[in-house]
Chain A
Amino acid sequence: MGAERGLAGVEPAPSPEAAGPLVALRGVRKAFSSGTVALERLNLDVRDGEFLSLLGPSGCGKSTVLRLIAGLTSKTEGSIQWRGGQPSLGFVFQEPTLAPWSDVFANVWLPLRLRGVSRADAKVRIEEALAQVGLKGFEKAYPRELSGGMKMRVSIARALVMRPALLLLDEPFAALDEITRSRLNDDLLDLKAAFGATVVFVTHSVYESVYLSTRIAVMAARPGRIVADIPVDPSLARNEDFRLGAYYAERCRETSAALQLAMGGAEPLDPRHEVRRG
């Protein structure tokens, strides 16, 4: 894990805008069978190479957006368009969601195993993924023998072993203590730099979203929609200096204000996702 964490190294390919977003959600509505409308007129672009955070209060539909992108739930209205078809996906849930009856090796092997990759053929990739999340030597451990942070690392390794083009993370660090969470934030940035995947990260932490992201989409609740789109400079290295700097403080203030506005019932932005600041 490197000390200098920049997001510049994973900038999009030369002309991503010309090629269009990796996935575009347009006018998406999601209503559950209970009648609850989770999302309404939601427009969102996910661009190549970016670290996009979906930030919003509890119950605003952040996880639903992620599940829609992953194809785990269906939209009621609107469209979800992939540029060139759906790429390989990795998904990390809020809970580690490990198979308790399998050891660490078998848990990370799971996505490959489901695609018919044998244990022997998967071994190198699994060991590589485990080394990248700092769990080398824990192959034979069972989930219940691991700490919360280690379980989440296994979950991330399992998502990365498929070398996904798009990594979806649903509040993965919400249940962890502050120290573990901070360490995993840095590790996640290192992994993103190493793998070059596009990331969509659900969180309700303003500070976490500003530290990790190249862009923050703020959501309002009832029904869920995007109300602000805040860019964060990817060229600045993410480290303690970044956390203590004026730029970080300003982005946090700005994001926090957008979140406050969202919780007060802001109107949705137009489909171009203009940045609403302050």
Chain B
Amino acid sequence: MGRDTFEDYIFPVVIFLLAIGAWEAFVRFYGIPPYMLPAPSAIAYTLYEDWGTLSRSLMVTLSTTFEALIAAIVGGVFLALSFRLWRPLERAFFPFAVVMQVTPIIAIAPLLLVYLSSGAAVLVCAFLVAFFPILANTALGLASADHNLVDLFVLYGASPWQQLAMLRLPSALPYFLGGLRIGGGLALIGAIVAEIAAGSAGSGSGLAFRIVESGFRLNIPRMFAALFLISVTGISIFLFFTGVSYLLLHRWHDSARGREP
């Protein structure tokens, strides 16, 4: 076993297990009731016991997150390309995107619930928060092509389409993937926030709704179990896009390559 294997993998796992063990011991030693702080074992048991309900809620939240993310990718990339092709469009529409980004989603959600069905409102909330980082990063990437390479394309008579397809899109790829990693996490946050707003209004069945519902019933282990699933989902989304970034960039981009020691 090399030093790197220990430092990179074994040490973090040991620390994680120690933290869980300490939590379990603390709850058991002081006899803390589950409605105040459930032990990790109680949460695991609830996960097992309530898996039917929780998994259905997980699928609802996942479905909202990925639908919103796909809409954000399509919308963000399309708008970034439009900005690139016709600059007045950027001046006209970018302020709207900024307004949507800087306004807290929790403040927009109740309004959306007035105008839309709860399902649609949750989807729009998740879309709104995931959209901006994808748009901003892609627009930045499209504008960041090496100027000398742009000159080279001009010198060799490249058409605007060739310049876009063979230069600007590959240049934008690392930026887009960075936006995707941020947007993926934000889509989940947007979905959860909107579900909480919708849940408090009496509808919805995603994981956030389960948290709200469990809170009302003082079923704290189930709250933790739902929270655990949300965390795992967020981590999985991040790891998935990190993996996609690595696959697409590791041969040529510094962000996906380790530095030689």
A138 at the interface (CB under 8 A from B): no
State whether the Cβ of B153 lies closer than 8 Å to any Cβ in chain A: yes
Q: Count of A residues near B, CB < 8 Å?
A: 22
Which residue in A72, A99, A100, A142 is a CB contact (below 8 Å) of B154? A72
Chain B residues within 8 Å of A72, by CB:
151, 154-155
What is the chain B residue whose CB lies nearest that of A101?
B170
Could you tell me the distance in whole angstroms from the C-beta of B159 to the nearest C-beta in chain A?
8
Closest-by-CB residue of B relative to A97 is B148
- A93 contacts B157, C-beta separation under 8 Å: no
A183 at the interface (CB under 8 A from B): no
Residues 113 to 157 of chain A near chain B (Cβ within 8 Å):
113-115, 142-144
Closest to B148 in A: A97
Contact partner of A115 among B146, B151, B152, B156, CB < 8 A? Answer: B156
Tell whether B173 is near chain A: CB-to-CB under 8 Å: yes
| Interface hits, B232-261 → A, CB 8 Å | 251-254, 257
The answer on a CB contact under 8 Å between B162 and A114 is: yes
A70 touches which of B155, B167, B170 (Cβ 8 Å):
B155
Question: In residues 42-72 of chain A, which contact B (Cβ within 8 Å)?
Answer: 67, 70-72
> Residue among B153, B155, B162, B166 with the most chain A CB within 10 A?
B155
Docked pose: A99 CA to B168 CA in angstroms: 11
Chain A min CB distance to B250 (Å): 10
Cβ of A110 within 8 Å of any chain B Cβ, yes or no, is yes
**Contact B152 A142, beta carbon cutoff 8 Å:** no
Interface residues of A in 71-123 (CB under 8 A from B): 71-72, 89, 91, 93, 95, 97, 99-102, 110-111, 113-115
Q: In the complex the two chains form, what is the Cα distance from A142 to B158 in whole Å?
A: 23
Known: A93-B148, A101-B173. A111 touches B154 (CB 8 A): no
The one of A102, A114, A162 in contact with B153, judged by C-beta atoms closer than 8 angstroms, is A114
Q: Which residues of B contact A95 (CB under 8 A)?
A: 148
**Is B149 an interface position by the 8 A CB rule?**
yes
**CB within 8 A of A100: which of B152, B156, B253?**
B253
Q: A93-B148, A97-B146 are in contact. Are A110 and B154 (CB under 8 A)?
A: no
Which among A70, A99, A114, A142 is the interface contact of B157 at CB below 8 angstroms? A114
Chain B residues with CB under 8 Å of A99's CB are 149, 166-167, 170
Given A97-B148, A99-B167, A99-B170, the answer on whether A71 and B155 have CB atoms closer than 8 Å is yes
Asked if A144 contacts B252 (CB within 8 A), the reply is yes
- A89 contacts across to B, CB distance below 8 A: 155
Residues of B within 8 A of A114 (CB): 153, 156-158, 162, 166
Q: Which residues of A lie under 8 Å from residue B167 when comparing CB positions?
A: 99
| A residues neighboring B (CB under 8 Å) | 67, 70-72, 89, 91, 93, 95, 97, 99-102, 110-111, 113-115, 142-144, 162
- Nearest 5 interchain pairs by C-beta: A97-B148, A101-B170, A100-B252, A114-B156, A111-B156
28 contacts between A and B (CB under 8 A): A70-B155, A72-B151, A72-B154, A91-B151, A91-B155, A93-B151, A93-B152, A97-B146, A97-B149, A99-B166, A99-B170, A100-B252, A100-B253, A101-B170, A101-B173, A101-B252, A101-B253, A110-B166, A111-B152, A111-B156, A114-B153, A114-B162, A115-B156, A115-B157, A142-B251, A143-B252, A144-B252, A144-B257
